[in-house]
Amino acid sequence: MKKNIYGDLSIISGNSNIPLAKDICKHLGVELSDTAVNHFKDGEISLNIADSARGADVFIIQPTSKPVNDNLMELLILIDALKRASAGRINAVIPYYGYARQDRKTKAREPITSKLVADLLATAGADRVITMDLHAGQIQGFFDIPVDHLSALEYLSDYFKDKVQEEGDFVVVSPDLGGVTRTRKFANYLNLPIAIIEKVRPRPNENEVMNIIGDIEGKNVIMVDDIIDTGGTICKAAEALKKRGAKKIYGAATHGVLSDSAVDRIQKSALEEFVITDTINQPEENKKSKIKIVSVGCLIAQAIDRIHNNESISVIFG
């Protein structure tokens, strides 16, 4: 065990993404703590943390992905159990922060659920949150505890370095106006130009028209987003790019939610490949030929190591 002022380093995982937790432990050179998270017959969550947590610097690895409410409750209950077990510090590592898309009111009587979740985590007893590529960076301000916001963009861009060198003539495309900052950051890693898809709905109940701002004709394209959910928008965007003369079209997103028929939709689309990270554990049926997965275990391990040793992590901020 590594020692520091916060106590021994301890890594605990809920059920959401055990493979990622094990990968993080491998990079840190520590064992995953023996923890069993189960359910009673009525669906209530029960857990048993076999290893002592007294005075320890505990990092709980638990993305709040599907089933979102179960995984969120697991995380809250783990935090509460560790607080009652006198853990020295409790760090919630949430690579994918569920409810992040409910970050503002867009109509009357609508909740801001991402703020509610932030309050629940602090109330349960979390001392710190480590997360990755929030849907809106401003969500960090919903917390009254420290938040370390990591980015997987450099890891995703690394996947394309060889393709850019071999195939040449690439442009990075934002699928909407809101993702321009993310797209430019990704493009800077590869020293590429950007283009933007502007979606316009001419009249109510009419299909969106996609205008392309920038030069994509005769070029290979990488579309970049933070989340791919149903895949409908990204596949329509790929079709629009193809009609306007793009050659090969690739996609990349940090979080592969992949709900509904997203995987089949991607398989049948104009996309050559879609690259995601392992912030969300993917079932075997999602690992189709066009879906490529990049690991961020090393990045999260670096952040944990620096936080545990009271070192700055700004050097690994994306």
- CATH number assigned to the domain comprising residue 91: 3.40.50.2020
SS3 of 218, please? Answer: coil
- 235 and 303 both lie in a single domain: no
Measured CA to CA, the distance from residue 90 to residue 130 in angstroms comes to 11
pLDDT at 7: 83
- 197 and 68 both lie in a single domain: no
* Interval 35-65: pLDDT, tens: 999 999 999 999 999 999 999 999 999 999 9
* Interval 110-135: pLDDT, tens: 999 999 999 999 999 999 999 999 99
As a whole number, the mean pLDDT across the chain is 93
- 53 and 109 both lie in a single domain: yes
> Please, how many CA atoms are within 13 Å of residue 56, restricted to the half-sphere of its CB?
20
- 77 and 134 both lie in a single domain: yes
Catalytic (active site) residue 199:
yes
pLDDT at 1: 43
Q: Using an 8 Å Cβ cutoff, are 229 and 258 in contact?
A: yes
Instruction: Give the global pTM.
Output: 0.94
Residue 80 has pLDDT above 60, yes or no: yes
Residue 124 included in any domain = yes
* Interval 86-97: pLDDT, tens: 999 999 999 999
Active-site choice (22, 66, 163, 199): 199
Instruction: Please give the residue range of the domain that contains residue 146.
Output: 9-152+297-316
- 133 and 144 both lie in a single domain: yes
Residue 104 included in any domain = yes
- 278 and 177 both lie in a single domain: yes
Q: Is 299 exposed, middle or buried (0-12, 13-18, 19+ CB in 10 A)?
A: buried
pLDDT at 2: 47
SS3 of 4, please? Answer: coil
* Interval 167-183: pLDDT, tens: 989 999 999 888 999 99
**Count of domains for the chain:** 2
Q: What is the DSSP string of 7-22?
A: -SEEEEE-SS-HHHHH
Residue 2 included in any domain = no
- 120 and 176 both lie in a single domain: no
Residue 185 makes CB contacts below 8 A (sequence gap 6+) with 151, 153, 318
- 284 and 311 both lie in a single domain: no
pLDDT at 314: 87
Residues of the chain with pLDDT > 90, as a percent, come to 86
- 111 and 202 both lie in a single domain: no
- 70 and 191 both lie in a single domain: no
- 80 and 16 both lie in a single domain: yes
pLDDT at 37: 93
Residue 260 included in any domain = yes
pLDDT at 6: 73
Residue 1 included in any domain = no
* Interval 29-38: pLDDT, tens: 999 999 999 9
Residue 159 included in any domain = yes
Residue 253 included in any domain = yes
Q: Using an 8 Å Cβ cutoff, are 186 and 275 in contact?
A: no
Residue 141 included in any domain = yes
- 199 and 219 both lie in a single domain: yes
Q: Which amino acid is at 277?
A: T
